[in-house]
Chains A and B, each alone.
Chain A
Amino acid sequence: MVKNRVKKKKVSNQKIKKTARAKSANKRNDDIGEELRLKMWRYQLEVRHVEQRAHDLFFQNLIKGTSHLALGQEAIAAGCAASMREDDYSFCTYRGHAHTLVRGASMEGVLGELMGKQCGMLGGKGGSMHLTDVEKGAMGSYAIIGAHLPIAAGAAWSAQYRKSGQVAFCFFGDGTTNIGAFHEAINFAAIWKLPVIFVCENNLYMEYTPISEVTAVEHPAADRASAYGLEPIIVDGNDADEVFRVASKATEKARAGAGPSLIEAKTYRHSGHSRADPATYRPKGELEKWLKRDPIKLYRVRLEEFGTSDDVISSIEEEVMSEVDKATEVAKQSPAPSESSLLTQVWADGGSEWRN
């Protein structure tokens, strides 16, 4: 069960001990600093609370179809986003609410799209699996496994050609590492030294099947890296700071023209593959074990150790929750898409005419 209520802490002896710990933590985590950490904290909270709200709205029948939630995987999107420039490109999968939010997309755009409303960022025409905010560099969520890997490579090629210094991030799951497009894209990016960072979020399950049962190697992404001349990179996907460090190194390398990186971030999803999945295929105790390593939990402790005050930590969470509430209301009030929008935007002229 995911907790989403803030606990107010009372001043106690505990706090004195924590301050002492914090002092030593300060020195340890200096390369990131508080500002960036608070940014990542906010990112993770935004994802957590929007996803939780989406979960609830689905059970209220306000979100139809299907939704793939990233509960438990927030740290990866947050850590990578913190390492990106505003004009960098990012591509993600159908489990992409997180990656779209952390690029700065609006919550009512996300929730509205999930509810099929006019205020949805895709006008209600794309749905949960295709969240896109081109203005913010979120170049789409892709529902065909692996398809966006070569597309991300293409965006990186464009940046390389135009010498803009931009990079492209590409997020995908462990299951993707066994599909053809994965191999084509990484080989392609490697030979052309494209500034693309491939981030595999290994949550241990390819849809309903343990990834270990369907992959010839132990680490589905990292163990393939050497096949393409790339360094194997494994990171704790539930630690936003670690993710940030690894992602930053990769973006530096890419911007320097030294080519792509393949990062495998270990994580776990708290819910099923999609809304329809109660995830009974998981072995007993596995979820509990991972809940102890809930990224939000971890990061709260991290901030405390770093010395951030409880007030700041909590107030950010309160802000985020109230934003989510506001966005939910806006989205609920928004009307369904107009009938006329059905036939628009097939072509660049805004229309859909195929004949004269």
Chain B
Amino acid sequence: MDIIMPQLGETVAEGTLTVWHKSEGDDVVTNELLFEIGTDKVEMEVPAPVSGKLEKIFVKAGETVEVGAVLGRINSGDASNDDQSSEESEKSPSSSPNNLAEKQYKSNLSLSDHLSPAVRRLIAEHKLDSSKINGTGRDGRIKKSDVLEYMNANKNSLHELSSGSQNADEPKFIDGKSIIPFSRIRQVTAEHMVRSKTISPHVNQGIEVDFSKVDSARKSISSDWKEREGFSLTYLPFIIKALCGALADFPNLNSHIEENNLIVFKDVQLAVAVDLGLEGLVTPVIRDISSLSVTEIARSVSSIARLARKGSLKPEDFKGGTYTVTNNGALGTLYTTPIINQPQVGVLSVDGVAKRPIVVDRDGEDNIVVRPIGVITQAFDHRAIDGAYSAAFLKRLKDIIENHDWTSLLS
């Protein structure tokens, strides 16, 4: 039988064994004085609970141990000895929680028919069709996260469901005000913009790029191009091509942030921002863009923009982007600070390219020349990317744009 340190007082957790009255190997008789314990308040004599041989002492006189600690063992000769401790007191787990279930009303509806308040609200606010939402909750019910996923996947085609929300042509003023409600796309865009800014610490970096070489290439085929393709060849496809090269050298920018991890992607799936007039912004993805030529890039960009504006794209067309580019240059802006397309870490804004006087070095002397100059700005997520990395990336991008043999690439 184990001899244990007794509970000495309310929530006193320890006791000191002050003196053994028996030694190891001694015979003891029931109720014979076995040992003494003490605290600062109390001294207690403890008798032997059974007769037998004090076969082992674990705790020496003067030691302080926890209440319940084994101090020694008496062998009372009974093989099936009552070891009163541990085994019995281990609670059978099955006796725990479930037996204490409080009475509950048993509803007849299956959960799959239930739409929780959170779900109802989202559906109402965004005028969604619950029959189109896949439920992954218990009994197949639609959970809040199911709705959010659905919305995220479909944010770009939600305008199909809109019913001519905006009448921007002729605003009707009442009391000097015209109220234009947000379309679904506008709402989703708005939510995404706010969320992105909340999540990512945006840092904007710009770099001036000389587009002379690109211009040469463009000019060399411009007339043929428009006839052949049906749209103009802008700076954008060249920049995108250079972007692929730069991202290959600076792959961390071609990534997503998930919790505390940076997921770097091998290939660039480039999201291109397409403006849907006043309805909002969508970002369809051009797959495996690194393998495309400038010409192919130009064609892809043009077609995807056209399809997006027509509303012909499917949800898959918007998924999986690893980097985003937004072209704001049509109206000659100097630079733009774009908003990151979550969960990516970088977005590039291409702005106006215009003739500007710059200084070049000719034979050791400074000369002013006129060149087509444009500012390219990257917004990056400072959680994952630092300024130096971004700056180096922009430098690389600039180098490629300024020094590549674009003309030969086009033919």
Direct contact of A and B (CB under 8 A): no
Chain B positions near chain A (C-beta within 8 angstroms): none
Chain A positions near chain B (C-beta within 8 angstroms): none
